Chain A
Amino acid sequence: MAIADPSQLSLAEAGRAIAGGELSPVTLTESYLARIAALDGELHSYVLVLTDQALAAARAAEAELKAGRSRGALHGIPIGLKDIYKTKGIRTTAGSRVYETHVPGEDAETWARLKNAGAVLLGKQETHEFAIGGPDFTLPFPPARNPWNLAHYPAGSSSGSAAAVGAHLCAAAMGSDTGGSIRGPAAYCGLVGLKPTYGRVSRRGVFPLSYSLDHCGPLTRTVEDCALMMQALAGYDPLDPASADVPVSDYTRALAPRLDGVRIGVVRHFHEHDAVAGFGPDSAPLPAYVAAFDAACRTLERLGATLVDLELSPLIDYADTNRVILLAEAYALHETDYRERPQLFGRHMFARIGLGAFLTAADYVEALRQRRELCAEFAAATAGVDVVISANATGPAPRIDALTTYTTFERASYTAPWNLTGSPALSVPIGFVDGLPLAFQLVGKPFDEAGVLRAGFAFEQATGFHRERPPIAASLPTR
């Protein structure tokens, strides 16, 4: 039976259809390219569309299948890459004038792994400048918009990647996450986003923001899709100095509809108390968010999990320790350009990383000491549980014109704590308010991506929020 619109399939569904001979990689790639041509003029999710290369790769994938060779679940699957992932012979700008014409001579290790697994690259996707400076209307590439409402912010810095996945302009995409740049966009765009354990996925060939906090990971429409992407991405890279030589699980085998026997720790005080106490009334969670979070907890209990409240240090301790390390490392990275040609940076990039110029060596060392204390605290507090849940953004996406330069540092961040601890953290949708998505995070023990994917899958199947689509994701009118 012919598939009416293959862009409506999940990655997993498309992969099964390709493997079963019901769908051609060329047809699938053409369907996404047609959507990009029709819709991306207002969404701004891509900064470079690789039409000819993508079609050539799709034809090659099809030829391999006809010759009896399948590379697995990603064979012939069209994806996108945040434009901080280096692509050999293909412009990679990091969203900055500094690299506006930069063409790398090598691929990021993650893209090499995805390509080897059969993925087709549709294009490079809009990013905040160097993964921190945005949304910035002074840069050469306009900021991506939220697929649920184009007047709203898709979050950042993996803005284009999330917008494209949400609008069905690719089957999946790669983002990066130093303080929440995969999980924030996943939350605001109604997607699944995984920041893996630090060291689980190679960062080699991805523009760094903060060496000790950067993580690479996927943005997808379902948890199963995320598991399939992770299967190709995870694993030791001897050329990434932070890569961990730890065995990789079978992530799809871990997916199950029930959570009987699973113990889940709930960090409530981050959003119920600490946000306002530490960051002021502008960080108060929306009542509809608190209700959605509580409903999500009840769903997990109905699935068989046992929930226990966890008490950690205040959210501000985790979030601001992350920020000091991030700013100090980011400023060190860009110091020469910052001093010698500051006019090349966009407004937000300049104003944000410049704060790192005023941190002292003692500030950085104190942050590293506090990081160790908080990691030890978190490990002890979670010794008796399998998974932790915490809030993600506690309200829907704001309008894109409502953000100020320092909003991101002034407000509570629920994602930054898990960059600090290096824990795997999965953002999963938990509902909607005013037509915009809400999400929470499932946080695991080091290298237990399988555990958070299992919990996310069971929750997703029980609630069905992942089946909601923004209007822009609908099939294009037939000619």
Chain B
Amino acid sequence: MAAPISDERWAFLLERAGLDPTKAPERFAELREGYRLVERLQKTVRRTGGGQARDRAAEPAHIFSAKG
């Protein structure tokens, strides 16, 4: 189970996102509980290839067709 996020870290994340927790304090408290899921997601999307960093050439495909 992920360790609870510190007050300082939480304040930093809110500020970076431009969010004001005083507008809905109870809801932001629940959102803070959910932050552990973000940490899992951030780890998982970097997982393919056995935990190694991706090849720099492994780009997301972006294809332009004749139809524009």
* Residues in chain A within 8 A of chain B (CB atoms): 245, 313, 316-317, 320-321, 323-324, 327, 338-339, 342-343, 347, 350-352, 354-355, 357-360, 363, 365-374, 405-406, 409-410
Contact = CB atoms under 8 A, between A and B. Distances in A.
Contacts of A323: 41
A327 B45 CA distance: 13
Given A358-B13, A363-B42, A372-B61, 12 more contacts: A317-B47, A320-B41, A320-B44, A320-B45, A321-B45, A324-B41, A327-B41, A342-B27, A354-B27, A355-B37, A369-B60, A370-B47
20 contacts: A323-B41, A324-B44, A324-B45, A343-B24, A351-B31, A354-B19, A355-B38, A355-B41, A357-B13, A357-B19, A358-B13, A358-B35, A359-B38, A359-B41, A359-B42, A365-B60, A366-B54, A369-B58, A372-B58, A372-B60
Contacts of B3: none
A370 B20 contact: no
A323 B34 CA distance: 14
A367 B24 CA distance: 30
Nearest to A314: B47
B19 A320 contact: no
A373 B59 CA distance: 9
B20 A339 contact: yes
Interface in B1-38: 13, 17-20, 23-24, 27, 30-31, 33-35, 37-38
Between A347, A352, A366, A368, the greatest number of chain B beta carbons within 10 A of the residue's beta carbon is seen for A366
Nearest to A351: B30
B49 to A, nearest CB: 8
Interface string B51-63: 0001000111100
Contact of A339 (B18, B34, B48): B18
A317 B18 CA distance: 30
The 5 A-B residue pairs with the shortest CB-CB distance in the complex, in nearest-first order? A368-B60, A320-B44, A357-B17, A367-B45, A366-B45
Question: Per DSSP, are chain A's interface residues mostly helix, strand or loop, or mixed?
Answer: helix
Given A245-B67, A350-B24, A374-B48, A405 B38 contact: no
Contact of A406 (B24, B34, B42): B34
A339 B16 CA distance: 12
A363 B41 contact: yes
Contacts of B38: 355, 358-359
A351 B24 CA distance: 11
A313 B48 CA distance: 8
B59 A369 contact: yes
A360 B44 CA distance: 14
